[in-house]
Each structure stands twice: as structure tokens, then as C-alpha cells.
A and B are shown apart, each in its own frame.
Chain A
Amino acid sequence: MLKMNNISKMYQTEMVQTHALRDFNLNVEEGEFIAVTGPSGSGKTTFLNIAGMLEPFTGGEYLLDGIDVGKLNDNQRADLRNQKIGFIFQGFNLIPDLNLYENVEVPLRYRGIKAAERKRRIEQCLEQVGLASRAKHLPQQLSGGQQQRVAIARALAGEPRFLLADEPTGNLDSLMARQVMELLEQINRDGATIIMVTHDAELARRAPRNIQVVDGQLADFTLYQGNPNMAVGA
């Protein structure tokens, strides 16, 4: 599904050049559930953004479903993103003017889904993250954890084939974190490919495949034994 060959990403600020990613090689098969770990500043978010076509990369080749992303124009990337990819951002990034219901609605609108179907999916997803009763609240009326759950609902509502999650459980207590993890596992079983960045070793261990980013490079990966959903990559 996803194939990155020697991807590099360099940030050029006034004085410093930062190699956020270099010689980054990764192969992800359809239906995988991958946990990404690594120290802060190692390039995990950068990797997810590139995977989600939110930013251009400096070198290398990236194929998504066999399509060479480097050759697409902005519109085509937006289309592809819209059809296939769901995001859970590290910083939630809810839209402050919109209430929870409307925030979850955003990707559905851009996908041109009819109002009745939107309503069904939104209510279902808010139910799943336990916030159905707060649909009319604005983001700033929620705690950090609750906001994170809205961000998850928003990503799930689009029923993406490919979910990119940046620390989806970072602000949740362990019980809630486990519930979210179960949710992700559920949609993974339903066919979605998931890449999840996390600092939580226990959660990472639950994922069939782990990769580690260190200093902008894929350090190594560990396959946890005994997982039925095991996949071989890289």
C-alpha cells in the first residue's frame, strides 16, 4: 500500500538545516497496524505528514497504492487524501468555531456525503468515543482528553482506508487509552491500514508491527511473536 524509498526531508530555516528524515525506507502492506516510536524530534510527525501528503519531501520516492505521489499536483493529492486518508493530529487541531458535531462533519462534507448519512456517521463516531452527549459543545469547553477523542471521532467518521494517528492517546488516561486502542484495532480488523505514533510502550506492543524512528531514520523494527495479524515489511 505504502512504499517509501530513500525519502529525505530537509527543513531550511534561516541559519540551520534540519534533516528531519533521511534515507527513509518503509513498506506498508494493506491492512497492517504499525506503531511508530522514537525520541522527541526524531521525525515521526514529519513522516506522518509526508505519508499523508501534507508536505512535500526533498528527495526519494513515495508510492501510495502504486501512485507516485511526487508526480501528483496539489489537486490530485487533495483528492487522494480526501478519498483514502484519515488523520489524528498530535495537537488535535479541532476548529475552534465549530462545535463537536460540526468538527467531525468537516471531512465528510469535503467528501460530498449526504446530510443524512453524515448525521448517522457523526452520531455513531461520537458515541464510540463517549462524547455523544456533548455534540453541541465547542472545543474550548472540553478537556484535552475529550478534545483528543473528538479528533479520533473525526478521523474515524470518514471511514478511511488509511489512518495516520499522531499520539492519539497522548492525553488520555490508561483506561481511555485502551478503549481508543481497541477502537483502532476494531477498524483495523475492518480493513483499515493504520500507522500510529505513540510514546506508550505498552500500546506499541499491542500493535502487530513496531518501527522506530531515530534521528530521521528507521532504526529497526520488532515483530512481536504470537500475533495473528503478523505482517512482514521493510
Chain B
Amino acid sequence: MFSHYIDLSWRSFKRTPLVSLLMVIAIGVGIGITMTSLSVYHMMSMDPIPEKSDKLFAVQLQSMDEGESWWSPDSMPYQLTYRDTENLLNADLPFKRAALMKTGFSVHLNSDKVKPFLEQTRVASRDAFDMFNLSFINGGVWSKEQESSAAPVAVISQSISKKLFGTSNSVGETFYLDDLSVRVVGVIEDWKLHIKYFDLNNGSFNKPEHIFIPFSLIKANEIDTWGNTNGWKHEPVKVFNDKLQSEKFWLQFWVELNNASEKRVFEAYLENYIAEEKKAGRFTREKAEYKLRDVNQWISYWEVVNEDNKIMVALSFMFLAVCLANILGLLLAKFLRRAPEVGVRRALGASKKQVFFQHIVEVGMLGLFGGVIGIIVAQVGLFGIRQSLSYYDALANMDISMLMTAPLIAISACIIAGLYPAWLVCNTTPATYLKTQ
């Protein structure tokens, strides 16, 4: 019977092509706009590293004096000082840790084959690659010795490798970051991320870096941040070492803790660490405060998906509702005009349920067509967003789950709009239309 209903729906579609097309377009536009905003929202709120998002923790320490406040929701500083970062990184603990900083250089070769270009660079400790699931195509991460001796080495992405050396196997090649000559020790696949969760300081949707150098180079080569440096008290910074010793916040720190007991061990370490620092005159607050937030907590703490995005989605659903109200009107007219035919079907043995189902299939089909149009509209919309807001580049895309969702939403929305007209038409007294021609 279902295939028969589809056949009937298709005939009905062809019988009033203009009205049908109008309805499909109305659904399509409504769904398209909804899917555009929903896709962006979906990408924004998607777990960037689902395999281990509950095992990676951003570390926050409350090193400000009593009474000092921060603009974060809980007044905890977002970043760490260099001293704390270095101490946590070098502590004798069995956990992988990533100390991170955003910087950048003029990248060039010792030849004129490639024009110099400015490139953001990530300073990272060697565990970072493993923690953030970066995969090597060639070579590997620098050694512990290279890290501790501040060796001028780098891991680069495949696309930078191709850009500089024309190959993704550039291990052993050297290039320049400003005046510093660095040797490639590893090439990774490009780091594809929708949300730059590991460093949300300078835009949540910026792209991850393509060049990585050892954390120890900060001190050895006096590499300063391209990100934020925030202070909370007056500290004169005359030479770079002053900054290293200061209470300013400018570094990110992550730790991988695989279970609750590991987390307790690390927390105990932090408490102990704060107590030790207190003796040395830092961490003057009465109550020691630190925070460990996993990836998703970190993202919501930063309010990556903010009210505006939610309002956008809500508005687009309201627009869809307006489209549906119009469709409801058109369906009502279309179905009621068919009441005589329904009367005949009822007289010939159709039950109300069968008549109802026939009409629901028909609106479902309109929904399916509308969903397909909706996907096209959404693609155009997302293309427009990508063109006008390059910042949203990686976000303004439809993944498979969204592509599947579009027709589903369209069909269910249409069925909702069609419920009343279908119910009305299946409830007409069959005899009313049978008396005369």
C-alpha cells in the first residue's frame, strides 16, 4: 500500500505542479536556512577530539593575590605564568603534558625558490603530538635530549613541507624561522580542527599551526608570544628574563589523565605545588585554587558557542515555522478540494486510517523534495558564509550527519504541518459528495 500511496502522491504532485513546487520551495528555503545555522552550530559544538576529550585537561592556577579578579567566569586566569608552566612540565610525574605557546616567524629558505612568508608557529613540549592525536607521515617528534638542550628542530605539517620543499618527506631539511636555522625532524598530517580548543585565547575558530618547535626554545632563543600576555600587577619588564620570571600569564598547559585515580594524583601534586610556592612567597591567597577542565568543559567554559549562535538557530527555526504555516494553508486548500475523491474512496472501502496515511505520505514526499532543495539552499548559504567570513571557514560546512538530518527535519516538519489537513480530509462524511456529479 505504501508504494501505492507514493504513486498517488506523485500524481497529486503532477496534477498541481505549481502549488506543489511552491510548497517544496517554501520548505526548501525554510529547511535551507535552518540547516545553515544548524550546521554552523553543530560544527561549533562538536567535540573536537572525541576519543580522548575526557582525558585531556587544561590546567588553571590561581596565582593572583587575594582580591585580584579576572574576567573569566570563575575569576581564574585562562593562562599560566612561565614559571608555573616550566615547573609543571618538568615535575617528576608519569603523565603526558603539553606546554604550549603561540608565536610566529618570517619563514624562509636559504634560497630564492620560495618567497619568505609570515607563519604562525606553535611552541610545544614533545608530548603534545601524542596528546592531541597528531600523526606523523615522516620522521617523528624531537628527542628528549633535543628538547632539554633546546635543539633548533621543528615538526612541520605536510602542506608546509610541500610549500617549502616540494615534498612531504622533508626530514633532515633545514629552513629559517627569522634568523634561526631549524632542521625538520618530522612531518605530520595537517592538523584539521573546527575549534582550536588547545588555545582559545585568540579566536576559537582560528586554524591550528603548521610549524612546531620545542618549548625549551622560548628561553634559549627569547621567543615571545604572538598571543595574549596578561598581567595583574605592576612588573617592569626590561629584558626577556624579566618576563620569564614575572607573574604574567601567557602560556597554555594541558595534562593527559586517563582515569580518576590519575586525576587525584595530579590534583594532589598541584595542591602540594601551590603549598611549596606559598612558602616561596607566591600564591598568597588563603585558599589554594586550581582547575582541571577536560576539553568539552574547557570549550563551554570559554563560551565558544555563545548566546548569539543559539539565538541564530532559534530564529531560523522560527522562520521554518512561518514557512510551515504557509504550507499548512496550501495543504488545507489542496486536500479539501479533493474531498469528493476521498468520499469515493471511503465509500469503496477505505478506512479513515488509510485515507489519513495516504495524505501523510503525500506531505512526507513534499518534505523529502523540500529537504533536497533545503540541502542545496544550505550549501549556497554556507558557501556564502565561507566567502564573507573566512574566520568561519572550517565551521561553515555540512558533515554527513547534517546532510542526513536535513531531509529528516523536512519530512517531519511537513508531516506536522500536514497532520491537521490530513485529519480534516479523512473526517469528511463520505456521502456529502456522492449525491450528484
Contact = CB atoms under 8 A, between A and B. Distances in A.
Nearest to A82: B349
Contacts, number: 84
Interface centre among B343, B347, B354 (most CB of A within 10 A): B347
A110 B437 contact: no
A55 B430 CA distance: 7
B389 interface: no
A92 interface: yes
Nearest to A91: B437
B350 interface: yes
B348 A110 contact: yes
Nearest to B341: A95
DSSP class of B's interface residues: helix, strand, loop or mixed?
Answer: helix
A87 B353 CA distance: 21
Contacts of B343: 54, 93
Interface residues of A, number: 31
A124 B161 CA distance: 78
B348 A154 contact: yes
B340 A45 contact: no
Interface in A96-114: 96-98, 106-107, 109-111
A65 interface: no
B344 interface: yes
Contact of A78 (B1, B341, B344, B346): B346
Q: Chain B, interface size: which category?
A: 20 to 34
B434 A111 contact: no
B435 A78 contact: no
B434 A91 contact: yes
B351 A91 contact: no
A52 B348 contact: no
Contacts of B436: 90-91
Interface string B410-437: 0000000000000000000111111111
Interface centre among B344, B429, B435, B436 (most CB of A within 10 A): B344
Contacts of B11: 97-98
A50 to B, nearest CB: 8
A74 B352 contact: yes
Interface in A55-74: 55-56, 74
Given A81-B349, A109-B4, A111-B349, A95 B344 contact: yes
Nearest to B342: A95
Nearest to A106: B348
Given A55-B432, A75-B351, A110-B345, 7 more contacts: A79-B351, A90-B437, A93-B433, A93-B434, A97-B11, A111-B349, A154-B348
Interface of A: 45, 49, 52, 54-56, 74-75, 78-79, 81-83, 87, 89-98, 106-107, 109-111, 154, 158
